[in-house]
Structure 1
């Protein structure tokens, strides 16, 4: 049988730009490359990016991802937002991930663990500011070509990243849980329907943590997740296998009457490939 041709991911259409409207501050500027996940939090390898919608269906195996030799990158925010507002907080994400990873290795190496819980000290504001900033960044350059309008959902997130520690106080909740996979998921906004209730969620997941933002008191979230308060001094992950089924929430596989709606280019998966 002859070889079938591979199609390149539509993600390729959403990556080329030099200047545009920064998706955090809104100013028209030269745009900067943002690594998502942040470089210090993971081992940087050669990866491919695809839209999450391209992972399913009859043509999924025929679609080739957009390659990057040094991690998953987005060019949608300006240099100042990337470095001054997000970059200086990335060290907190890196420290937390490294500390949790050490404990995870110990947990699965030693079979006599009594508790499935592990802990890491955290500066919750710095950790959340970096993670929210990367969520806003991880999308298409098409969004940078026009002035962004006001958004009840996104505007408080932008304000928080720009330094307003109280911006999310009345608008958003944050949840997190153990994410045991080596592929990275990002979703700027997904509308998720479950048992008669619909809620917007925003997500950034990479080993060992999934981080999700949703509207205040309206969220749909995995039952094994923890709620993050910006006054918290520690993160707690439950390593129990009972959470694995929903670790990729909201892309875990729909059940019952669950439904999702999202813009394709706002939901990205990246995964390591051979060197």
Structure 2
């Protein structure tokens, strides 16, 4: 019969039942609240299963029981104050995603739609701030057991989410692209390397947009990705499926001596159940 524990996702192990800890955004110790990732309003909240990315690529994937939530993918990693801070941008995320859905539907249902680029008005600062906040929160609850350590990569991201508009201007760049899949991918940290370059990045992907944060001076991004800045007024998305096999970047097959490094508990995939 085998070992039963081998058929249970390690995401269950990394999900803490403790309601207190260090907030992964502000760093304060206290009661922790659940953060929905993707945020409520941007997706239909339904029953989900969470697994580690490493478990989604093995042959026994269908035999593994994920961490189940009856009302969306959640992470108990941030305090109520930071959760409330993210909610200001969640309204903008929901507006963008709800506005894009009928545009995408019309594009794929129309046989004579030659132009794949679509443009929508955006409050980029609110959108980016909230998305980065959710990337920080979508992690192993074990991170909340110890104080947050200041690092060159995460320090600027945390300060930006907390209100410093210039915190990431010299350290990070943001990219996005059309993401036409139902599963949600969150990766707080993954690094891609080659013979000449090494780049750390973070990702949050859910229909219809993949959102990628990369180090500014060492960018490794897919050729179809569009860059976005906090001062942008429009989001322009290419609905072409020409690069479909790479929409789950950076979790794709690598060529030209590229390789990736990541901790499995920081890279999670969520699947809606029963839809």
Same fold (TM over 0.5): yes
Residue 72 (structure 1) aligns with: 73
Residues 177 and 224, structure 1, Cα contact 8 Å, conserved in 2? yes
Residue 175 (structure 1) aligns with: 175
Q: How big is the shift at 1:3?
A: 10
CA distance in 1 between partners of 2:188 and 2:61 (Å): 22
Residue 30 (structure 1) aligns with: 31
Q: How big is the shift at 1:57?
A: 2.5
Residue 267 (structure 2) aligns with: 267
Residue 95 (structure 2) aligns with: 95
Residue 217 (structure 2) aligns with: 217
- Deviations along 1:87-141, whole A, 9 cap, x unmatched? 1110000001111111100100111112110111100000001100000000011
CA distance in 2 between partners of 1:100 and 1:218 (Å): 31
CA distance in 2 between partners of 1:187 and 1:57 (Å): 18
User: Does structure 1 residue 193 correspond to structure 2 residue 198?
Assistant: no
What TM-score do you get using the length of structure 2 for normalisation?
A: 0.95
Moved over 6 A (4+): none
1:17-166 maps to which residues of 2 (within 5 A)? 17-83=18-84, 85-166=85-166
Segments of 5+ residues of structure 2 without an aligned counterpart are none
CA distance in 2 between partners of 1:234 and 1:245 (Å): 26
- Deviations along 1:180-206, whole A, 9 cap, x unmatched? 000000000100124632100100000
- Deviations along 1:42-64, whole A, 9 cap, x unmatched? 01111100000011234333211
Q: CA RMSD in A?
A: 1.6
Residue 231 (structure 2) aligns with: 231
Sort the Cα spacing of 1:96 and 1:149 in 2 relative to 1 into closer, same or farther, 3 A: same
Q: How big is the shift at 1:4?
A: 9.4
**How many pairs were matched up?**
273
CA distance in 1 between partners of 2:168 and 2:147 (Å): 23
Q: How big is the shift at 1:242?
A: 1.4
CA distance in 1 between partners of 2:233 and 2:67 (Å): 38
What TM-score do you get using the length of structure 1 for normalisation?
A: 0.95
